[in-house]
Structure 1
């Protein structure tokens, strides 16, 4: 019996122990300040715990020799390439993976099969055309063979092609093979796409922006092995670095802008154009190499002849080009770290006057500003090409929208939208073209980081520039939205809800908050630049970024990465209560009158106020014999003996203790509540009776013990009249109504309007011009 008793007692103790341990584990596991251990990969010889490349870090290389011909009559590309692939990994490889991104537009593509469609009561012709699109896109691979001409076995799996090697490619060796292909160029205006052509009906000409035009090597690294996820249209590209030798054959009257440096300028440019280019190299403002008048004349011509433009590019991860007989071309030199970089723009006359006024100057400003915050721009050229309804980036070249009205006017929105897209796409040279993250897996590592530096660049272009993303208050509506339509930033590119907010806006805002509120500019800028320097021309992962930012700043940011990047939590910090305290000096001559004045509840009570009028006389007022010592005095009266005792007490104090009895000091106990689930620093601004203000910053670690409510005591000589949390809108707090003491409600604005008449409203420039004409 006794054994059974002790057994039961032991089981109860064990149960209690297990429950306690489980509760403790759950508490730890849910702690917002728990370190990122399980979430981050284990450091190794390739990637260190500090976030730097390890002593055995490696990356593959792929060199290309490419020849392509653009058929302007049939809008096709025909090409052949020789790829030399260097296996710098410690692994032996039996096959290689090649990306066939054009296959996203093939008739049997997966992206078409998984795309949801629905019918509406009203359908536009454009919408119907896109839905019913039967464009015959995708690579037509005509041959895959060894460098000696022998056929190579290969398997095409939608947007990926596996090449089965005849012999194992051993570590430290290279392999060379050849591919021939062709494909139909897509009409971007009708079916969309990152690249393609635009047709100008008025002058029967085309403008081509050509990318993903050749089979490209996939990345093989220590993190993913082969990055051979299918291209479904959203998650962009992961590519190895290499050297490119590219020959592009186009109609003889075309002007070509491209990744790399032109090798045969004497074959494709006139002496006048070459002289202008050399002038532009030393100029600090744009110089026209092909003028608008020359471009207009060129549009009128047509030719069956061709020219081959020869470009070379070193240490780039991709290659793209643009070509048209419509191009105006301007350029200027930019000094970056003692090296002259050519900032250039290519655009049709339809882009003016916006493009000749802004594009190249914005390119120059962008490479300068990004260089300041990351690394010096390493390439010889940076190009912006005007292309309707697109913004897309490649090494040294990008395609950007921005067309004014036919009368040359433009809206303010269009102007700033065009400047912003040029900044953004030129900025992509740094993220991910140089700091080469995996876009197929982590969109935020290129779009989010780039949007952040874009914001810095815009603010240095014009004071109070109307940046779309970056400021904390601009992400609030997203953060407080329906969580069922949000995903953490750390979500694969193809599975993100609200792509713009998730991949661009939220990470850009998070970095801005780190810079302005959590770390401070000096620490942040040093750490961010360190990350750029460490991972320039390498393949960083999220862990490398997170670890470097902490390693270079000595700021524990695990709580920040966890909340902002691994959850959909939002910020909402409230002021719950404020209590005011004054020091009791012990001197009855001071304390008692103050206490009597503060104890006014009897006077305020409504019944007592009415009784003062309705009760003519009380018993103690009628019969004085009923009134004793306590009726004639109150608790706040004092005697000379009380004063003497106080003097004896103060005589026993030292000077520091006497100073603490200062009756001018006001003490305020404040309770703050973490209404939202995302911990953040408490930034509180105190307003005083004399009109002055003081801002106090409390680190986010005040929430480290998992408290939903915390209290702090503040003391001032001045009398406090108000407190505001997040006064400068720096933490993305989603509810401003609970940020004030005394409480305050923030009104929402609404607009009264009449329904507009049909037709496009005139932009402000047009309205002002019309007024001047009158």
Structure 2
């Protein structure tokens, strides 16, 4: 007995020590930004309080200045698009963008900057600190910036009077136990950002309706959004109550705050219809739900708030309760290579609304990224499956339970749709198993040769991988493992090893054989 107590104490001490070793940096942003909708520019000033929670002193901080990815055709983004036949059509017609006017200061002192040695990385800059930032200390970094927005052909820009303001402000790259992650913007391959608290003041012409990360602080504006939004949600018709600006000329300034988020995005259009309701979670927590869409005849977006509510409830039950106060979906322009793009508390949906179950699935997938991107902040660029694949697994369950459909598989025969849900899911995954997917799940995003390859290995194959685990241990146990993962790593940066440890802790079994499959090229058919 004493032997077991001794071993337990050793294990407990080791686990506690391992947990104590984890650290992550923390940022606090205050950003003032003005939109010039005629010139398609942003003029801004930001203040960042950067706290160094690492065990190392820092002499510099790498910054992402992502708008420069759009500056010319030598950038990593342009090169990636040009090398992918399925994405080249994005470049049929476009305008460039850039960020300029940077003048970094650290604690009020002018800071030297240095370009990245890779000539394709003009959207990354090194800010040298006048004195070393010691462990546990904070520093204040400020800069002006001016962004020329591109036409919308990747994630950020403008189209048809709508502004998609994403990856728009200078932001420090992640510094973690593996060092700096100062990668460039890519069209195929997403992000990895430090958790931060945000206060963002957005000035723009008064006629615009804005959806943004976080909570709107202007009481009158928020009240109007909620009032007309609730009426539009209740009526669900093509004669909506429209937004009327309090000041029909001039500008307004809207303030948003958000805590514990890895990014901040905002969207603006004069033609948005606002819909609003709330969703109550099992704990009793009430979450605001907004939708911003266009007044088209017979639009399926009349149901968009309900789709977001259902997704928020289901994911909360399956994985862990939604931790933010608001969830929002925005209708965007058609994008020829994406169904949508997620940001904390808000997502842009860029897929034509062909049928209800398809729009519902896309909204659910993008809302689901609040778990697998925002609240569980894995490195999406290196481990895209840890974001997209885990989310797709739950999206497929949502579609199966609600519609007996699957948005990836297309039209499903009537005899398959007639099956009970569990058998339906088995049939879907058997079909996925037969799809040739050469690349390994663990392939970093930048190394996929095409977007098709990226999609198959980052979305479909890891969903199948999780389903194989579900088939072995049961759906309920998989959900319990996810809950343990979520509770252990919410608002942190979990690696695949951290996910594996959380799953093993929950399931009480060694998962080496499953996690080894992440490196397997080709089909899982032969795997037993």
For the aligned pair, the TM-score class normalised by the smaller chain equals: 0.7 to 0.9
Question: CA contact under 8 A between 2:31 and 2:201: conserved in structure 1?
Answer: yes
| Partner residue of 2:494 out of 521, 540, 543 | 540
**Where in structure 2 are the equivalents of 1:94-493 lying within 5 Å?**
94-107=59-72, 108-113=74-79, 115-116=81-82, 130-131=91-92, 133=94, 135-148=95-108, 150-157=109-116, 158-188=122-152, 192-199=153-160, 206-222=161-177, 224-266=178-220, 268=221, 273=225, 275=227, 280=230, 286-287=233-234, 292-295=239-242, 305-336=250-281, 337-350=283-296, 352-356=298-302, 358-390=303-335, 391-403=340-352, 411=354, 414-460=355-401, 462-468=402-408, 471=425, 474=428, 486-493=438-445
Contact conserved, 2:43 with 2:146, CA < 8 A, in 1?
yes
Q: 8 Å contact 1:387–1:399 — kept in the other structure?
A: yes
- Map of 1:667 onto structure 2: none
Indicate whether 1:557 and 2:511 are aligned.
yes
Matches for 1:702-721 after TM superposition, within 5 Å: none
CA contact (8 A) 1:351 1:386 kept: no
**Cα distance in 1, alignment partners of residues 311 and 100 from structure 2:** 38
How far off its partner does 1:178 sit? 0.8
Q: What's the CA shift for 1:236?
A: 1.1
Q: CA deviation at 1:257?
A: 1.0
Relative contact order (C-alpha < 8 Å, sep 6+): which is higher?
Answer: 2
Contact 2:105 2:142 in 1 (8 A): yes
| CA distance, structure 1, for counterparts of residue 212 and residue 51 of structure 2 | 25
Task: Identify which of 442, 446, 449 aligns with 1:494.
Answer: 446
Distance in 1 of aligned mates of 2:215 and 2:258: 6
Higher mean Cα deviation, 468-477 or 418-427?
A: 468-477
Separation (CA, whole Å) in 2 of partners of 1:247 and 1:437? 28
Deviation, 1:303, is: 6.1
Question: Is the 1:286–1:360 Cα contact (8 Å) retained in structure 2?
Answer: yes
User: How many angstroms does 1:58 deviate by?
Assistant: 1.1
Structure 2 CA distance for partners of 1:367 and 1:49, relative to 1, 3 Å: farther
Aligned 8 A contact 2:276 2:288 in 1: yes
Which residue does 1:668 correspond to in 2?
Answer: none
Structure 1 unmatched ranges of 5 or more = 1-46, 121-125, 200-205, 405-410, 573-675, 680-774
CA contact 1:100–1:160 (8 Å) conserved in 2: yes
Relative to structure 1, the CA distance from residue 151 to residue 118 in structure 2 (aligned partners, 3 Å threshold; closer, same or farther) is closer
What residue is the counterpart of 2:414 in the other structure? none
Aligned-pair CA distance for 1:383: 0.2
Cα deviation, 1:738-761, whole Å, max 9, x if unaligned, reads: xxxxxxxxxxxxxxxxxxxxxxxx
Cα distance, 1:62 vs structure 2? 0.8
Following superposition, the deviation at residue 570 of structure 1 comes to 2.7
Does the 8 Å CA contact 1:288/1:329 hold for their aligned counterparts? no
Change (3 A) 1:436 1:288: farther
**What CA distance in whole angstroms lies between the structure 2 residues aligned with 1:559 and 1:524?**
16
- The aligned counterpart of 2:479 is 525
Could you tell me which residue of structure 2 aligns to residue 770 of structure 1?
none
Q: In the superposition, relative to structure 1, how do residues 127 and 95 fare at CA in structure 2: closer, same or farther (>3 Å)?
A: closer
CA deviations over 1:65-90 (Å, ceiling 9, x no partner):
00111111121111110011000111
Alpha-carbon distance between aligned partners in 2 of 1:382 and 1:419, rounded to the nearest angstrom:
15
Q: Is the 8 A contact 1:50 1:547 kept in 2?
A: no
Change (3 A) 1:457 1:366: same
Q: What residue is the counterpart of 2:3 in the other structure?
A: none
CA pair 263-288 structure 1, distance change in 2 beyond 3 A: farther
What is the TM-score normalised by the length of structure 2?
A: 0.85
Cα distance in 2 for residues equivalent to 1:561 and 1:119: 32
Computed over aligned residues only, the root mean square deviation of the Cα atoms, in angstroms, reads 3.2
Q: Deviations over 1:355-414 (max 9, x none)?
A: 11x21001111111111112211111100000122400000000013556xxxxxx4xx3
The structure-2 alpha-carbon separation of the partners of 1:553 and 1:197, relative to structure 1 and needing over 3 Å to count, comes to same
TM normalised by structure 1 equals: 0.59
Measured after TM superposition, the shift of residue 504 of structure 1 is 0.4
Deviation at 1:549, TM superposition (A): 1.4
Matched, 1:83 2:48: yes
Look up the match of 2:519. 566
Q: How does 1:659-678 map to 2 (within 5 A)?
A: 676=526, 678=527
In structure 2, how many angstroms separate the alpha carbons of the residues matched to 1:102 and 1:323? 18
Q: 1:456 to 1:496 in 2, by over 3 A?
A: same
Q: How far apart in 2 are the matches of 1:551 and 1:119?
A: 44
The answer to whether the 8 A contact 1:85-1:176 is kept is yes
Whole-angstrom CA distance in 2 between matches of 1:160 and 1:83:
17
1:52 to 1:318, Cα distance in 2 relative to 1, 3 A = farther
In 2: Cα distance, 1:531 partner to 1:295 partner: 43
Whole-Å Cα distance in 2 between the matches of residues 96 and 240 of structure 1? 12
- Structure 2 gaps of 5+ residues are 1-11, 117-121, 410-423
Contact 2:442–2:519 (CA under 8 A) maintained in structure 1 = yes
* Contact residue 396 and residue 406 of structure 2 kept, 8 A: no
* Inter-partner Cα distance in structure 2 for 1:67 and 1:561: 45
For these two proteins, the number of residue pairs brought into alignment is 490
| C-alpha distance 553-274 of structure 1, shift in aligned 2 (>3 A) | closer
Residues 59, 132 of structure 2: 8 Å contact kept: yes
Contact 2:228 2:274 in 1 (8 A): no
- 1:683 aligns to what? none
Cα 1:290/1:438, change in 2 over 3 Å: farther
2:458 is the alignment partner of 1:503: yes
Q: CA deviation at 1:548?
A: 1.8
Residue 7 (structure 2) pairs with residue 59 (structure 1): no
